[in-house]
Amino acid sequence: MKMIKAYIRYVLYLLKMRTTIPGALINKKPIRENGDELVDLRQVPGLFFDKSFGHRPVLIRSGVAERLKQAQTLLPSGLHFKILSAYRSMKEQQELYDFHYQQMKTSYPRASATDWERMTKAICAKPGNNAGSGHQTGGAIDITLCDELGNELDMGTKYLEMCSKTPTASKEISEPSRNNRKILKSVLHAVGMQNYPNEWWHFCYGDRMWAMYQHQKYALYGPRDSI
Protein backbone atom coordinates (compact mmCIF):
# COMPACT_ATOMS: atom_id res chain seq x y z
CA MET A 1 0.00 0.00 0.00
CA LYS A 2 2.84 2.40 0.84
CA MET A 3 4.49 1.94 -2.56
CA ILE A 4 1.16 2.28 -4.38
CA LYS A 5 0.67 5.65 -2.70
CA ALA A 6 4.23 6.61 -3.61
CA TYR A 7 3.64 5.83 -7.30
CA ILE A 8 0.39 7.80 -7.26
CA ARG A 9 2.25 10.77 -5.80
CA TYR A 10 4.94 10.39 -8.45
CA VAL A 11 2.31 10.55 -11.19
CA LEU A 12 0.98 13.72 -9.56
CA TYR A 13 4.53 15.09 -9.60
CA LEU A 14 4.85 14.34 -13.32
CA LEU A 15 1.54 16.12 -13.85
CA LYS A 16 2.98 19.11 -11.94
CA MET A 17 0.41 18.67 -9.19
CA ARG A 18 3.14 18.01 -6.63
CA THR A 19 6.55 19.64 -6.24
CA THR A 20 8.47 16.68 -4.79
CA ILE A 21 9.09 13.03 -5.60
CA PRO A 22 8.28 10.56 -2.78
CA GLY A 23 11.33 9.46 -0.81
CA ALA A 24 10.27 5.81 -1.10
CA LEU A 25 10.87 5.98 -4.85
CA ILE A 26 14.10 7.94 -4.54
CA ASN A 27 15.48 5.24 -2.24
CA LYS A 28 14.75 2.56 -4.86
CA LYS A 29 16.94 4.20 -7.51
CA PRO A 30 19.86 1.84 -8.36
CA ILE A 31 23.43 2.96 -7.72
CA ARG A 32 26.50 2.49 -9.92
CA GLU A 33 29.27 3.89 -7.78
CA ASN A 34 31.72 5.85 -9.92
CA GLY A 35 34.46 6.13 -7.30
CA ASP A 36 34.77 9.92 -7.00
CA GLU A 37 36.83 10.59 -3.87
CA LEU A 38 35.87 12.75 -0.93
CA VAL A 39 37.83 16.00 -1.04
CA ASP A 40 38.15 18.94 1.36
CA LEU A 41 36.23 21.99 0.18
CA ARG A 42 38.56 24.20 2.19
CA GLN A 43 40.98 23.74 -0.69
CA VAL A 44 38.56 25.57 -3.02
CA PRO A 45 39.35 29.32 -3.05
CA GLY A 46 36.51 31.78 -2.55
CA LEU A 47 34.19 29.63 -0.44
CA PHE A 48 32.93 30.58 3.00
CA PHE A 49 31.99 28.07 5.70
CA ASP A 50 29.51 28.02 8.56
CA LYS A 51 31.17 28.39 11.95
CA SER A 52 29.72 25.04 13.05
CA PHE A 53 32.48 23.30 11.05
CA GLY A 54 35.14 24.72 13.34
CA HIS A 55 38.49 23.79 11.84
CA ARG A 56 37.38 20.38 10.59
CA PRO A 57 37.72 19.36 6.94
CA VAL A 58 34.56 20.00 4.92
CA LEU A 59 34.24 16.89 2.77
CA ILE A 60 32.36 16.41 -0.49
CA ARG A 61 32.74 14.25 -3.60
CA SER A 62 35.22 15.58 -6.12
CA GLY A 63 32.49 15.77 -8.78
CA VAL A 64 30.50 18.14 -6.58
CA ALA A 65 33.59 20.20 -5.75
CA GLU A 66 34.34 20.71 -9.44
CA ARG A 67 30.77 21.84 -10.08
CA LEU A 68 30.94 24.32 -7.22
CA LYS A 69 34.11 25.77 -8.75
CA GLN A 70 32.29 26.18 -12.06
CA ALA A 71 29.21 27.68 -10.41
CA GLN A 72 31.33 30.26 -8.58
CA THR A 73 32.30 31.78 -11.92
CA LEU A 74 28.61 32.33 -12.71
CA LEU A 75 27.82 34.30 -9.55
CA PRO A 76 27.24 38.05 -9.80
CA SER A 77 30.21 40.17 -8.72
CA GLY A 78 30.57 40.40 -4.94
CA LEU A 79 28.65 37.21 -4.15
CA HIS A 80 30.08 33.97 -2.77
CA PHE A 81 28.89 30.56 -1.65
CA LYS A 82 28.72 29.74 2.05
CA ILE A 83 28.72 26.02 2.88
CA LEU A 84 26.31 25.09 5.68
CA SER A 85 26.62 21.30 5.62
CA ALA A 86 28.38 18.74 3.44
CA TYR A 87 29.33 15.07 3.93
CA ARG A 88 27.97 13.41 7.07
CA SER A 89 28.75 9.84 8.09
CA MET A 90 25.88 7.47 8.85
CA LYS A 91 26.72 7.80 12.55
CA GLU A 92 26.57 11.60 12.34
CA GLN A 93 23.25 11.39 10.49
CA GLN A 94 21.83 9.11 13.18
CA GLU A 95 22.98 11.49 15.90
CA LEU A 96 21.39 14.41 14.04
CA TYR A 97 18.14 12.49 13.58
CA ASP A 98 18.05 11.50 17.27
CA PHE A 99 18.67 15.12 18.28
CA HIS A 100 15.75 16.40 16.20
CA TYR A 101 13.53 13.54 17.39
CA GLN A 102 14.13 14.50 21.02
CA GLN A 103 13.35 18.12 20.15
CA MET A 104 10.00 17.02 18.71
CA LYS A 105 9.21 15.00 21.83
CA THR A 106 9.97 18.02 24.00
CA SER A 107 8.08 20.48 21.82
CA TYR A 108 5.02 18.26 21.30
CA PRO A 109 4.73 16.04 24.42
CA ARG A 110 1.13 15.05 23.66
CA ALA A 111 1.89 13.81 20.15
CA SER A 112 2.34 10.13 19.33
CA ALA A 113 5.59 8.37 18.44
CA THR A 114 4.32 8.20 14.85
CA ASP A 115 3.84 11.96 14.82
CA TRP A 116 7.29 12.58 16.32
CA GLU A 117 8.86 10.42 13.63
CA ARG A 118 6.85 12.11 10.85
CA MET A 119 7.81 15.60 12.02
CA THR A 120 11.45 14.62 12.47
CA LYS A 121 11.68 13.06 9.00
CA ALA A 122 10.28 16.29 7.56
CA ILE A 123 13.50 18.09 8.54
CA CYS A 124 16.05 15.28 8.79
CA ALA A 125 16.40 12.05 6.80
CA LYS A 126 16.28 8.87 8.88
CA PRO A 127 19.27 6.59 8.19
CA GLY A 128 19.03 2.85 7.75
CA ASN A 129 16.98 0.40 5.68
CA ASN A 130 18.68 1.43 2.44
CA ALA A 131 17.59 5.02 3.07
CA GLY A 132 19.11 8.07 4.68
CA SER A 133 20.35 11.37 3.40
CA GLY A 134 22.32 12.24 0.29
CA HIS A 135 24.80 13.77 2.70
CA GLN A 136 26.03 10.25 3.50
CA THR A 137 27.07 9.81 -0.12
CA GLY A 138 29.10 13.03 -0.22
CA GLY A 139 26.88 14.15 -3.10
CA ALA A 140 24.63 16.53 -1.17
CA ILE A 141 25.39 19.96 0.19
CA ASP A 142 23.51 22.64 2.10
CA ILE A 143 24.53 26.03 0.76
CA THR A 144 23.61 29.71 0.72
CA LEU A 145 24.90 33.02 -0.62
CA CYS A 146 26.99 35.59 1.21
CA ASP A 147 28.85 38.83 0.54
CA GLU A 148 32.61 39.35 0.46
CA LEU A 149 32.71 39.51 4.27
CA GLY A 150 30.81 36.25 4.71
CA ASN A 151 27.53 37.92 5.69
CA GLU A 152 24.66 35.74 4.53
CA LEU A 153 22.07 37.14 2.15
CA ASP A 154 18.39 37.11 3.11
CA MET A 155 16.92 33.90 1.71
CA GLY A 156 13.50 34.22 3.29
CA THR A 157 14.08 31.83 6.21
CA LYS A 158 16.94 30.78 8.41
CA TYR A 159 18.83 27.59 7.55
CA LEU A 160 16.88 24.52 8.79
CA GLU A 161 13.80 26.65 9.52
CA MET A 162 10.89 24.49 8.37
CA CYS A 163 7.74 26.43 7.54
CA SER A 164 5.60 27.43 4.56
CA LYS A 165 8.39 29.80 3.43
CA THR A 166 11.03 27.07 3.26
CA PRO A 167 10.20 25.51 -0.16
CA THR A 168 12.40 27.03 -2.83
CA ALA A 169 9.48 28.38 -4.87
CA SER A 170 7.53 29.77 -1.90
CA LYS A 171 5.50 32.85 -2.78
CA GLU A 172 5.39 34.00 0.84
CA ILE A 173 8.85 35.56 0.87
CA SER A 174 9.97 39.04 -0.16
CA GLU A 175 11.07 39.89 -3.69
CA PRO A 176 14.74 40.32 -2.67
CA SER A 177 14.71 36.90 -0.97
CA ARG A 178 13.06 35.37 -4.03
CA ASN A 179 15.74 36.87 -6.27
CA ASN A 180 18.51 35.53 -4.01
CA ARG A 181 17.04 32.04 -4.23
CA LYS A 182 16.79 32.36 -8.01
CA ILE A 183 20.49 33.24 -8.22
CA LEU A 184 21.51 30.30 -6.03
CA LYS A 185 19.34 27.83 -7.91
CA SER A 186 20.19 29.07 -11.40
CA VAL A 187 23.98 28.95 -11.04
CA LEU A 188 23.94 25.50 -9.41
CA HIS A 189 21.43 24.08 -11.88
CA ALA A 190 23.61 25.47 -14.69
CA VAL A 191 26.43 23.11 -13.63
CA GLY A 192 24.19 20.06 -13.28
CA MET A 193 23.27 20.15 -9.61
CA GLN A 194 19.72 19.53 -8.37
CA ASN A 195 17.77 21.43 -5.74
CA TYR A 196 15.40 19.65 -3.36
CA PRO A 197 12.20 21.70 -3.87
CA ASN A 198 11.17 21.57 -0.20
CA GLU A 199 14.46 23.08 1.06
CA TRP A 200 15.95 26.12 -0.67
CA TRP A 201 19.41 25.31 0.74
CA HIS A 202 19.75 21.63 -0.30
CA PHE A 203 21.48 20.78 -3.58
CA CYS A 204 22.94 17.54 -4.83
CA TYR A 205 24.76 15.79 -7.62
CA GLY A 206 25.29 12.07 -8.20
CA ASP A 207 23.10 10.76 -5.38
CA ARG A 208 19.72 9.09 -5.68
CA MET A 209 17.76 12.32 -5.34
CA TRP A 210 19.74 13.86 -8.19
CA ALA A 211 19.23 10.74 -10.31
CA MET A 212 15.48 10.69 -9.72
CA TYR A 213 14.82 14.36 -10.39
CA GLN A 214 17.18 14.40 -13.37
CA HIS A 215 15.59 11.24 -14.84
CA GLN A 216 18.87 9.33 -14.76
CA LYS A 217 18.88 5.52 -14.91
CA TYR A 218 21.07 5.22 -11.82
CA ALA A 219 22.86 7.22 -9.15
CA LEU A 220 26.62 7.69 -9.27
CA TYR A 221 27.25 7.85 -5.53
CA GLY A 222 26.36 5.45 -2.74
CA PRO A 223 26.84 5.98 1.02
CA ARG A 224 30.39 6.42 2.28
CA ASP A 225 30.82 5.21 5.86
CA SER A 226 34.55 5.79 6.02
CA ILE A 227 37.03 8.32 4.71
Lowest mean pLDDT, pick from 4-18, 34-48, 72-86: 4-18
Cβ burial 168-186 (10 Å sphere, 16+ → b, else e): bebeebeeebbebbeebbe
Angstrom distance (rounded) from CA 181 to CA 76:
13
pLDDT tens figures, 13-51: 988 999 999 988 999 999 999 999 999 999 999 999 999
Q: How far apart are CA 196 and CA 166, in angstroms?
A: 11
What local confidence, expressed as pLDDT, does residue 132 receive?
64
Could you give the domains of the chain? 2-213 (3.30.1380.10)
Q: Does pLDDT of 227 surpass 70? A: no
> What pLDDT, on a 0 to 100 scale, did the predictor assign at position 220?
97
Which pLDDT band holds residue 128 (cuts at 50, 70, 90)? low
- Which of helix, strand or coil describes residue 70? helix
* Structure confidence by residue, pLDDT tens digits, 155-165: 999 998 989 99
Count of CA atoms in the C-beta half-sphere (13 A) of 9: 14
User: Is 103:191 a contact under the CB 8 Å cutoff?
Assistant: no
**CA-based angle 145:147:148, to the nearest 5?**
130
pLDDT at residue 129 is higher than 70: no
Of 17-21, 87-91, 118-122, 197-201, least confident by mean pLDDT is 118-122
57 contacts: CB under 8 Å, gap ≥ 6: 40, 42
User: CA 198 to CA 10: how far, in whole Å?
Assistant: 15
Q: What percent of the chain has pLDDT over 90?
A: 68
At 116 the pLDDT is 85
The answer to whether residues 82 and 51 touch, using CB atoms and an 8 Å cutoff, is no
Residue 131: other Cβ atoms inside 10 A = 17
